[in-house]
C-alpha cells in the first residue's frame, strides 16, 4: 500500500512539474512518465488518462490552497481584519509561486459554471466527469471558502471589520477580487503599457483598498457646490 502511494505521489509530482513547464494542452502522458522516470503503462495503471491526472492535480491544488487558509486561521489571537490581509497576501504568493496549481483551481471554477448548467454540462469532456478525482473535488471545493468565511466572521465579531457585512458574501467577494488580481498581473507587468501602475505599487495599493473596504473607511464625498451667476 505504501509503495502504491509513493508511486501515485511520484506521478502526481511529475505531472505538476510537466504541466507547469509545458502547459496542459501540450502535455502528454508519456511526457509525465518520462519526467517520473517510469513506464507509460505504469502511469496509466494509477491514472486512467491525462484528464484524470489533471483532476488529481487540481485536487492536490485545493488541498495546498486550503493549507494556506488553515495556517491563517491557526493564528487567531489577532484582529480578524489582520487575518484577512494575511490571507490575501498568501493567496497572491500562492498564485505567483504555484501558477500551474492556482490555474487548475481557476479552471475548475470555470468548469463548475458549465457543470451547474444543464445545457452546458454536455460540453464538458466526459473523461473529466468520469474521473474519481473530479467527484471528490465536488465535495471539497468549498473547504477553503468555509475557513475564509470563519476568518471574516472573526473580524466582524471583534469589530475590526464593518458589522453590517455578511460573512459569506464578503469572503466570496474578496475571492472574486483575488481571481481578478491574478488575471490582471499580465497586463500590469507589461512594460509597454501607458498606465502608471507597476507590480510594486499595485500589490500594496490593492491590499490597502480591500482593507479600507472592510474597515468602512472608504466614504463617498460629494463635490463642493460652486455658486455661479448667469449674469
- Which class for 45: exposed (0-12), middle (13-18), buried (19 or more C-beta within 10 A)? middle
Number of domains observed in the structure of the chain: 2
Alpha-carbon gap, residue 79 to 86, rounded angstroms? 11
HSE-CB for 192 with a 13 A CA cutoff: 0
Q: Is residue 231 included in any domain, yes or no?
A: no
Which pLDDT does position 13 carry in this prediction? 94
Q: Is residue 200 included in any domain, yes or no?
A: yes
Place of cell 485536487: 59
Range of the domain at 103: 50-215
Alpha carbon 94 to its chain's center: 8
Q: pLDDT band for 223, please (50, 70, 90 cuts).
A: very low
State whether 89 and 179 are in the same domain: yes
Alpha-carbon gap, residue 207 to 10, rounded angstroms? 37
Q: Is the pTM of this model over 0.85?
A: yes
Place of cell 502547459: 23
pLDDT by residue (tens digit) across 18-57?
Answer: 999 999 999 999 999 999 999 999 999 999 999 999 999 9
Asked if residue 63 has pLDDT above 60, the reply is yes
Which pLDDT does position 193 carry in this prediction? 74
Domain with residue 13: its CATH number is 1.10.10.60
Domain with residue 55: its CATH number is 1.10.357.10
Mean pLDDT score, 176-198: 86
Which pLDDT does position 190 carry in this prediction? 83
Alpha-carbon gap, residue 210 to 152, rounded angstroms? 12
Q: pLDDT band for 185, please (50, 70, 90 cuts).
A: confident
Which pLDDT does position 31 carry in this prediction? 95
State whether 157 and 82 are in the same domain: yes
State whether 125 and 17 are in the same domain: no
Alpha-carbon gap, residue 196 to 212, rounded angstroms? 22
Q: Is residue 165 included in any domain, yes or no?
A: yes
Asked if residue 222 has pLDDT above 70, the reply is no
What are 25's three cell numbers?
Answer: 494542452
Alpha-carbon gap, residue 59 to 16, rounded angstroms? 12
Which pLDDT does position 197 carry in this prediction? 85
pLDDT by residue (tens digit) across 113-143?
Answer: 999 999 999 999 999 999 999 999 999 999 9
The CA dihedral of 205, 209, 211, 217, to the nearest 10 degrees, is 130
State whether 114 and 180 are in the same domain: yes
Which pLDDT does position 231 carry in this prediction? 31
Mean pLDDT score, 175-182: 94
At 207 the three-state DSSP class reads: helix
Q: Which of 97, 104, 87, 60 is nearest to 147 (CA)?
A: 87
State whether 6 and 30 are in the same domain: yes
Amino acid at each position: 500500500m505504501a509503495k502504491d502511494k509513493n508511486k501515485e505521489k511520484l506521478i502526481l509530482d511529475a505531472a505538476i512539474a510537466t504541466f507547469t513547464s509545458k502547459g496542459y494542452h501540450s502535455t502528454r502522458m508519456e511526457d509525465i512518465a518520462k519526467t517520473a522516470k517510469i513506464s507509460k503503462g505504469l502511469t496509466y495503471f494509477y491514472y486512467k488518462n491525462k484528464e484524470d491526472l489533471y483532476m488529481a492535480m487540481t485536487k492536490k491544488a485545493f488541498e495546498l490552497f486550503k493549507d494556506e487558509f488553515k495556517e491563517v486561521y491557526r493564528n487567531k489571537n489577532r484582529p480578524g481584519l489582520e487575518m484577512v490581509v494575511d490571507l490575501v497576501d498568501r493567496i497572491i504568493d500562492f498564485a505567483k509561486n504555484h501558477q500551474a496549481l492556482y490555474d487548475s483551481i481557476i479552471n475548475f471554477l470555470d468548469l463548475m459554471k458549465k457543470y451547474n448548467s444543464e445545457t452546458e454540462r454536455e460540453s464538458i469532456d466526459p473523461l473529466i466527469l468520469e474521473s474519481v478525482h473530479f467527484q471528490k473535488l465536488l465535495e471539497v471545493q468549498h473547504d477553503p471558502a468555509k475557513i475564509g468565511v470563519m476568518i471574516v466572521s472573526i473580524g466582524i465579531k471583534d469589530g475590526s471589520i464593518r458589522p453590517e457585512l455578511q460573512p459569506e458574501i464578503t469572503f466570496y467577494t474578496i475571492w472574486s477580487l483575488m481571481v481578478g488580481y491574478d488575471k490582471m498581473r499580465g497586463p500590469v507587468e507589461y512594460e509597454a503599457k501607458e498606465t502608471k501602475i507597476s507590480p510594486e505599487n499595485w500589490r500594496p495599493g490593492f491590499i490597502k483598498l480591500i482593507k479600507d473596504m472592510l474597515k468602512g473607511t472608504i466614504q463617498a464625498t460629494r463635490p463642493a457646490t460652486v455658486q455661479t451667476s448667469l449674469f
